[in-house]
Amino acid sequence: MPAAVRQIETVVKDRALIERRHEQICDAALHLFARKGYHQTSVREIAEAVNVSVGALYNYIRSKEDILLLVYHRIFGLFQTKMSEAMANSGGPTSQLRAAIEATLKLYDEYQDLVLVLYQESHTLRREALQQLFEVDRRYVSMVQAIIERGNRERHFVAGDSNLIAIAILFLCAVWPLKRWNLKKYDLATVTDGVIGLILNGIGGAHGLPDD
């Protein structure tokens, strides 16, 4: 996790100690939220998993909502890192877009229980915390948007509004964790191929200039 998340007030002022403890709190919450859900997990359970008292835990957070915010930042950061790695190892825009979609769906598959919790609970966050998430989400969208814009410039794609297309692509990827109850007969590879095919055909990538 990067530097300690903004908007979380702490009693402790040592930044290195805050970051280390936030890492531990987040590790515990990731496991418990995915297994039990957000509302069914108590702050006491998280404190026990971190091996501190509830009182000591509140030296590093103000509320259970702060723990949810830590988890959001961890997951969004992981998605950005994996997408950057996938794009860096690819060539032209079509290959980059394929790699970005594959990386996103793979992470959705790995963290599907937790992703479902995060989607369901985002409305519980304070306005300031939501603004943080919107900012992180915009950075994630901008990565896909840059691929679309490059593909348009180089005539690999024939896409419209690049921001709108990028948002739509990432939302389409979210079908795997959010609609899994209706996708039980499909495996990840089938869904990935279907999503990539739909997107590339939709933006002209299946018929544009090939990657070098």
The answer to whether position 50 is within a domain reads no
100 occurs within a structural domain: yes
Q: How far apart are CA 24 and CA 46, in angstroms?
A: 10
The pTM of the full predicted model, rounded to 2 decimals, is: 0.82
Q: Domain for residue 46, yes or no?
A: no
18 falls within a domain: no
Query: What are the backbone dihedrals phi and psi of residue 126, each rounded to the nearest 5 degrees, phi first?
Result: -65, 160
Which residue do the tokens 């877009």 mark? Answer: 97
CATH code where residue 78 lies: 1.10.357.10
Number of domains in the chain: 1
* Rounded average pLDDT per 10-residue block, the chain, 212 residues: 60 90 95 91 97 96 92 88 86 93 94 86 82 86 95 92 96 91 92 95 70 56
30: part of which helix (H) or strand (E)?
A: helix 15-36
Q: Is 77 inside a domain boundary?
A: yes
State the pLDDT at residue 208: 54
Helix spans in 37-154 (H): 43-50, 54-57, 64-88, 93-110, 112-121, 127-153
| DSSP state letter for 14 | -
Structural domain boundaries enclosing 90: 64-202
pLDDT score, position 9: 83
